[in-house]
Amino acid sequence: MSGHSKWATIKHKKAALDAKRGKIFTRIIKEIMIAARNGGDPDSNPRLRTAILAAKAVSMPSDNIKRAIQRGTGELEGGQIEEVTFEGYGPGGVALLVHAATDNRNRTVSEIRHLFSKFGGKLGEQGSVARLFERKSQILIPQENATEEQLMEIVIDAGAEDIRNDGTQWEIISPPEAHDAVVAAVQQAGIETSSAKLAMIPNVLVKLEGKEAASMLKLAEVLEEHDDVQDVFANFDIDESVMEALAQ
């Protein structure tokens, strides 16, 4: 099993709890605000369009979306959010990219550095691990929702590059510019997705077992739970049996 997609699956299973805490709404609102700086019209702003699709996927009220756009464009106050990307290493030499959105850069940098150190990781310099990842469209679909053959017929013509099996979900990988078309093709076919986003997909995977696997998952989890963190990408590879044992 490829750890990056398995981790995405684990994160989705946590989504219901996160939604109850309002964390998913907070993350998406920040993304909408940041994206809207480049224009409040989703038809001419692909990043904003993707953020709005994510908001609708979790049933965010239209008024919330509208206010987030207006804060981002400056029509309303409260749009001073800064993007920060952290690069570093976790247990076993796993590469980590952490995307954050904050109204206090110094506080966030200090807290993220502390989490890396506390849970067996180390922050690196800018550019130290980014070369190990590639920006792609990533769509996750529970396997009970469609067969691989069905998806092949639907998404390849729309521009998808690959369909991967993570054991419980199909992972559709596409170039970033094909994201909207592939998502639209899946939606038009009436197939429900569990996640559809632009993600950083690792080019090289690091195999983990035992304590290193447990430590890496813990580090990824505490980073995910930080209020300013928007997303965590890592290049670990953990066998499904190990993942299930650690989840007990």
- Reported as a single tens digit per residue, the pLDDT across 150-202 is 999 999 999 999 999 877 889 999 999 999 899 999 999 999 888 888 999 99
Name the stretches of the chain with pLDDT < 50: 1-3
Q: Are residues 198 and 136 in the same domain?
A: yes
Q: Are residues 174 and 231 in the same domain?
A: no
Q: pLDDT at position 153, please? A: 93
Which residues, in sequence order, are bridge partners of residue 100?
84, 229
Q: Are residues 122 and 211 in the same domain?
A: yes
Q: Are residues 154 and 63 in the same domain?
A: no
What's the total number of domains in the chain? 3
Q: Are residues 158 and 175 in the same domain?
A: yes
Q: Are residues 20 and 38 in the same domain?
A: yes
In this structure, is residue 189 part of a structural domain? Answer: yes
In this structure, is residue 89 part of a structural domain? Answer: yes
Q: pLDDT at position 113, please? A: 97
Contact between residue 36 and residue 45 where contact means Cβ atoms under 8 Å apart: yes
In this structure, is residue 245 part of a structural domain? Answer: no
Q: pLDDT at position 2, please? A: 38
Q: pLDDT at position 80, please? A: 84
Q: Are residues 211 and 95 in the same domain?
A: yes
In this structure, is residue 246 part of a structural domain? Answer: no
In this structure, is residue 165 part of a structural domain? Answer: yes
Q: Are residues 192 and 216 in the same domain?
A: no
Which residues, in sequence order, are bridge partners of residue 98?
86, 232
Which CATH number fits the domain that encloses residue 187?
3.30.70.980
Residues 6+ apart with CB under 8 A from 49: 42, 43, 180
Q: Are residues 173 and 216 in the same domain?
A: no
In this structure, is residue 50 part of a structural domain? Answer: yes
In this structure, is residue 26 part of a structural domain? Answer: yes
Q: Are residues 120 and 161 in the same domain?
A: no
Candidates 207, 237, 233, 227; CA nearest to 87 is: 233
With residue 87 as reference, give the H or E element that holds it: strand 82-89
Q: Are residues 21 and 116 in the same domain?
A: no
Q: Are residues 123 and 26 in the same domain?
A: no
Which CATH number fits the domain that encloses residue 69?
1.10.10.200
Q: pLDDT at position 64, please? A: 94
Last residue of a domain, one of 25, 43, 73: 73
With residue 34 as reference, give the H or E element that holds it: helix 23-35
- Quote the domain boundaries for residue 110: 82-131+205-240
In this structure, is residue 91 part of a structural domain? Answer: yes
